[in-house]
Structures are given as C-alpha cells and as structure tokens.
Structure 1
C-alpha cells in the first residue's frame, strides 16, 4: 500500500490507496490534521511502531491556520507550539523583548514540513481533502473531494482531533442581521477593505477584536476613527508572564502569584483584586466591570495603544446593522455609509463540555493543562503510546474545558494543579513532560539557581495545596455562555 499521501513540495495529496476498492487498515485514524492532530500523531509515533492515518477536509494540513486572517500571529511564543519533535522558529526576540510568535505563512510552512516528516517515516498517511463521515458496519467511512467513498478499518482507536475545533472569522457567519446598504466585513477581509478617510466600528470583545484594533492602529488609523462595540469587557493576561527559555522566571513568578492569590483570597472578587494588583490579570478599562475571560494575552505596548480608543459602546450584543443605525440589545447608535463594520464575533476557542479523553476504541483530544493546546495533544499521544487502562490514563489526562468567563478561572487552575501533581508521581511521564519542547516550563531546571526562580518555586510549593482546597470551596456561579 502506498503511504506517501502528502506532497510537501506541491502541497497536494498523492495517491494513497493501492487496492482497487479494497478496505484500508490502520491502527489509529486521527480525524483532523490541525495542530492538535499533528502533535498527537508526532508523540504517538515517537513512542510506538504503529500505523497512523490522518484525515482532514481541508486541502492542506494545519487546521484553522489555513483559514486565518493574513496578519494573525501565534498567541503564544513559537518556542512551545507545534509538535514535540520539531522546533518552530529560531527563538528570536521581538521589538518588545518577547520570544517570537510565528505568522500564518510561517505556520503553513512548518505544518507542511511536519506532515512531510511524518509521511517519510513510512508509518503515517495523511489524507487531506477528505471528509470523515463516521462509522458504518464496523469501519470508518471517508469521502474525498470528488464524492468517492472509502472504508477504513481501525484496529485500535479513532482519535477525534476536531472536538475543540475553533470557530474562525473566515468560516463564521455573523450572529446579527445586516440590512442592504450597510458595509460589514470580516477581519480576514480587513486589509482589502481599508479606505482613505474611512471610519471603523469593531464588533467583539475578545482577541480577534483586539487584533483588528491593533492592526488598524498600526496602519495609522487614528484612534478617533475607531469605534469599539464591546458587549462585555474582558480580562487579559500580560504577555510577559507566558515566556519560555531564558524568561521562564517571570512565567514561574506568575504561576506562583496565581497559587498565592487563590490560597489567601476568601472569594473570587478578592482573588481577582490580588491578581490585578500584581499585574497577573489586566483590563483595558480598569473602571469597567469585566466578566469575559478567554485566556487572551496583551503586551504592555498593545494595552497602551488600545486604551487610546475612547469610543467604546457597551449596549450589549449587536442585533442588526442598518444603513444609518446599529441596533443593539439595550439601545441603538448611529452609523452611515462611510463606516466599515468589522465583524470579530467568531467564537474562537470552543467551550465544548468535558468528556473522558480515553474511551473504548476512541480518544477525544481536549485540554488538560490550561492554555496549552499543542502540549496537551502531545501529552495524550505519549500517554496512549504507553498503553494502560483508560481509567488510569484519564487520571493523567483529565479534561479541563476552555474558560469562557472569569468564573471558570478557579475550576481551570485547580484542575491543572491537580493533574500536574499526578504527573510528578509518574516517573516516566514526569521525564517526558520535563523534556518536551512544548512544555512552557521546560527551561525551569536550567534557571533553578536564580533568585527569581527559587523564590517563585518556593511560593508556589507553599501555596498550591491550600489554593486547590480554597478554589474547590469557592462559590462558582454558573458561567455566562454567550
């Protein structure tokens, strides 16, 4: 059977099936060849001699990055994103002194190279342009772009790498009505929509809206020409607290502050006040109540620039955009034909409910350590490569859903700290965690002698036990899911 199914040189699939109509057999069928599917496959095949097939409906690997807007960058440093076996970027520092974050085209090239290496191993086939249709009569059914169908017999497990698939602007439908005569564009169309003298209304409160505003400001659009509709205000992290390698001390100090605030606060409000006063959490407008939390990050430069936008509308979600007005949940505001309305309301992170990661004949890729998607997929792949019972593996890979509201913060952090303690009790897994490049804290031992790291580790160890207990007891009102 031919296994070279992905052409790195041309970005096109090559013939993958040598049997005429016969079934294909594989040990693992991974549905979704985005960052998580590739990271899982990379870790699984590094530890086992298995046959793996990845299928993805897109024409190339990389998942939602293939649909991303042109000026997007990684949210986190390249140093701990991608797959474990292959570095991304050169660990350069940007103009603000932080580790580089790959652009969309850089990620496309990286994922193509990862796919090429996996296929070259002789144990992996990648079927892009194929839709997984589900199980039928003991086999998995897939359909290619021409409508042809094939059956794949899976000897071990089907891996769902699409359960947490992100909603991105290019494939997202606005959740509001648009009347004739109104100009509405997605952020992915923004560079082509810019007009001299135009004014802009950015709709949304999360990272995508932040990206739209910062891009417009960087293109010399004055803040007085930007109106920002924010249905809710959001909490953000300082980018300095999520840096790897030689800046890992600041990262560990931030984690120590999390544990310290959680251990000492009597309720969520006091904990937020402690985290904000320590610089761990940020609000664009400190005077506005904030509830939304999607673990997004801002640098101090970005925060300063965004605070220059004074025209902020807080009248709830947009219901309808007309030629001369915008109707919102709690009122309306004027607009006109000179205004370009930028839709930034795509959901982004998928806040799907928790499911067991390991199930009979099935693995559902999800978050385990919060805010670490590549690491989590590789972790699950590595744990699967060791074998073991589903019950035991689920204790090491407990689902930890993405946060939507700041009220999810206690549950999210407590889940991470618990599972990290379990990793530390498993010598082989602890060694893998310490050694993978996808671990944000991988450089911690190298800097353990520095005062900053010594102090941060001590503070964390002192407080984390009490923090978990306090977070478990803290009242958790239902999260607002909008």
Structure 2
C-alpha cells in the first residue's frame, strides 16, 4: 500500500470543503492539504444536480473567498427581473473546477484524489480507497482530519423515493425533464410534482416556463414553506438599505411575536418572507430563497394536493394515509422529495474543533461556505480548541418557523463575538463571502450616506434581542424533540 503525508486531510470536495481549503491556504502558508472526494470533479452535490438547477442565493457570497463569482449585471427580464442573476449548476461546477486547476493544484500544497473515499481516519492515520481500482493509500496526518460531509446534501439523482412505485407508473426525477423533447410523440398529458421544497418550486417554474399549462400540473405539498424574499439578500451598496431593513424587521418581529410562527406571520405580512398560498399557514422553513416573480408563477398552479406524505403511487393513483387521490392515467410523477440537508439528523452536532478533527458546521446559518472559510481562519489564527470553539458556535439546523429563533440567536451570538475580536473583525472587513462586511467597508471609505440605516439597526437590536432570546428558549425543547 502506498503512503503519503499531509498536514490536513479534508474529506469532501464540495463547496464547504473547498471554502475551508481556500482560506487555509492563505492563512497558513506552510501547510499541505490533501483532499479526498467520491466525485470525479470538485463541487460535491452540484455534480449530481438536475440540469436546470440554479444557485438561489447571490453568487457574490458563494464559493470561496479568494475568487470572485458572478457578475454585476442585473437581470432585466423573467421572474428574477431587477435582481442579480442566479448562477446555473453548470456555472457553479465550472467555478470549482477553475479553482482546483488554477489555484489549488498549481500551489504545490494541495493534492486532490477524486473518485476516492476515506475508509479509516483517526489517531493521525487514515486510509482512502480508489473507487474504480480498489487501490488503497495510507495517509499520515500531521495535524487534523477535516470532515466536510456534515451536510450530506441529498439531490434527486442520489435520493431513493420514500414511497412505493407500482410497475408501469410514469415516474421521473427533475433531471429527466429536459430530455422530454426526445419523446415528442409520447409526452405526458399531466404532471404531478411530489414534494414541497425548493426543488419542487424549481420544477414548477421550469414546467411553466417550458409552456406547460398550469391546469396540467398537480402539486403534492405535505406542508407549505416560508421562503426568503430574494430582494432582501442582494449584494452591494444599491441593496444595502434593503438588507439592513430586513434584519431590522426580523428583530422587531421577534420583539412583537409570542412564537416563531407568529414572527414569520409578521415578516410575511410585510413582504420579507413569502409563501405561495396566502391562505395556508406554512409549517416549514429551510432557508430557501425565491423572487416575487417566481412566487407569482407558482401561484398559477392551483391543483394542490394536501393529504400529508405520499405512501404509494400507481398509474393514475396516489395513496396517502387515509386518502386516495386520482390523477390522469398518463400523469408523470416527478419526485422532488430529496432534502437538501437532513435537518432532523443530529449525528455530529457539537463543537467544530475536536482535538485532531474538525467537523465543518454552519456558524452563520445558512451561509455554509462563509462558515467554512471562517473556520479555517480560526484554525490558523488561534491556538487552542477551547478558544476556537468559543468563537465559532455551530448554529442548529432548524427546519420550522417556530424553531428558527434558535438559529437566529446563535448567529447573533457569533457575530457579537467576532465584532469584539480585532483579528476576526479585520478579516471580515475583507471577506468576500460575508454579505455585509466588504460592502460596509467600501461604503464607509466613500462616506456613503446610505449607512445611516445602521442607526435603526442598533435600535432594533436593543428592542428585539430580548424577544429573540425569549423565542429561542421557548423553541429549544421543540427543536431537540425533532
């Protein structure tokens, strides 16, 4: 068995692992890093995503710190009109390939082993195996193993349907839809979207923009979702006031509300949070981001089926617990039930820094690549695990409006600690992945009067933080039970 040595063994070449490596290269110029990943190319789950997938957060703060992503041209048409464009999955993969081939590998400090999986890691030793050849390589890890697999993102192509599918049932995943043109003489007469999350929303928008009549679409939604209004997540000075007003609104809503659910109702009333059906109370919140134009499109799908989770499908029939729903015999069922993150799985929750291992987790939910980059900064600039963990407390992955205040409070606790630490504050002022840091620095240098909105933010913190703490404490037991 061949053997190699490295300072850091990073498991996973997805966005999170790559963001960590990128910052560590800058902050620790003497270290060597080995990356092992199951995919043939860097980018993690983006390699498996459906072809029309798009990044639903701004490209300006996605990816890695050292390399810009996206452009500054506002969309002038379509449901995203007036906002920064959404990077396609193809663009995301090209970005990460460029990062690997133009920055990581030429540095001479990174070795990359695709189509491989780590089979053992601990006590300064590890082994990985080539998936294609079965050949094993031993690794002496001089410093730490970095686990970039916490999120275990599930996409339709790698997800197994959790319901029975009778033989002969027309069935597809979203990635199959763009190939329907090759079956022009045998197209479905009806489409059934199964799932309520962002993948289902993307699929609905794709079908509608492809020309499918809304009446030819049924949508199974076991529970509805609150969705972040993309207007309030945009980068740059022109949207800065909107971004700050959104934070102010969240704090004021927390002060006014008795529960997290009520907090979201207040935010929805004022347009900061969106829902597809105004008459239904959403029970889910997974940080999905959407434009008002997309919501208007999705509202044209009025045949919505709400009987809970699907248990079985057959030609023309869906079975639920206590209900059977009929659809046209030639209806194509589209499985959109894969969960981007296993929100209820607490397998590795805990501190990030664990002696000879780092488990990458969100420090500012939902900004996962920013969190990973900051974790690398902490690793390189602070001496002991206790100090690092105190400066980077993982945010719980809450999945309901009622439990969201737990995550919201954790973000504020971390942000407060970072602002009081001169090293971190200086890094944040230059960090591309931080939604406001570099924008504020540029605006301050230019004497931009739009910074006046921050006065309202300071007032909102004083008013709202007691409410956030109260809602978080009330939500704690509910989150643990989930």
CA distance in 2, matches of 1:480, 1:472: 12
Change (3 A) 1:222 1:479: farther
Task: Indicate which of 238, 241, 256 corresponds to 2:229.
Answer: 238
Partner of 2:206: 215
Deviation readout 1:409-453 (Å, 9 max, x if unpaired): 110100101110000110110111121110111313444621663
- CA shift for structure 1 position 257: 0.8
Determine whether 1:444 maps to 2:425: no
CA distance in 2, matches of 1:400, 1:471: 15
Determine whether 1:47 maps to 2:27: yes
RMSD: 1.9
Instruction: Please tell me whether the aligned partners of residues 417 and 468 of structure 1 are also in contact (alpha carbons under 8 angstroms).
Output: no
Report the secondary structure of 1:233's partner residue: coil
Report the secondary structure of 2:449's partner residue: coil
Instruction: Please tell me whether the aligned partners of residues 183 and 337 of structure 1 are also in contact (alpha carbons under 8 angstroms).
Output: no
CA distance in 1, matches of 2:201, 2:51: 15
TM-score of the aligned structures, taking structure 2 as reference length: 0.92
Deviation readout 1:122-151 (Å, 9 max, x if unpaired): 111111111111237852010012000010
Instruction: Please tell me whether the aligned partners of residues 366 and 401 of structure 1 are also in contact (alpha carbons under 8 angstroms).
Output: no
CA distance in 2, matches of 1:393, 1:436: 19
Task: Indicate which of 68, 74, 83 corresponds to 2:64.
Answer: 83
Instruction: Please tell me whether the aligned partners of residues 167 and 347 of structure 1 are also in contact (alpha carbons under 8 angstroms).
Output: yes
Partner of 2:106: 120
- Between 1:195-204 and 1:457-466, the stretch displaced more is 457-466
Partner of 1:33: 13
Partner of 1:160: 147
Deviation readout 1:14-71 (Å, 9 max, x if unpaired): xxxxxxx442110000000111111000011101120100110111110001111111
Q: Which runs of 5+ in 2 are unaligned?
A: none
Partner of 1:103: 88
- Between 1:269-278 and 1:360-369, the stretch displaced more is 269-278
Task: Indicate which of 108, 115, 129 corresponds to 2:115.
Answer: 129
Deviation readout 1:95-129 (Å, 9 max, x if unpaired): 31111221111111110111121111111111111
Q: Which runs of 5+ in 1 are unaligned?
A: 1-20
CA distance in 1, matches of 2:475, 2:2: 57
Deviation readout 1:315-336 (Å, 9 max, x if unpaired): 0111111123110123011134
Determine whether 1:193 maps to 2:180: yes
Report the secondary structure of 2:10's partner residue: strand
Task: Indicate which of 275, 281, 291 corresponds to 2:283.
Answer: 291
CA distance in 2, matches of 1:75, 1:188: 17
TM-score of the aligned structures, taking structure 1 as reference length: 0.92
1:15-414 counterparts in 2 under 5 A?
21-48=1-28, 49-95=30-76, 96-116=81-101, 117-135=103-121, 139-144=125-130, 145-193=132-180, 196=187, 198-246=189-237, 247-351=239-343, 352-353=345-346, 354-414=349-409
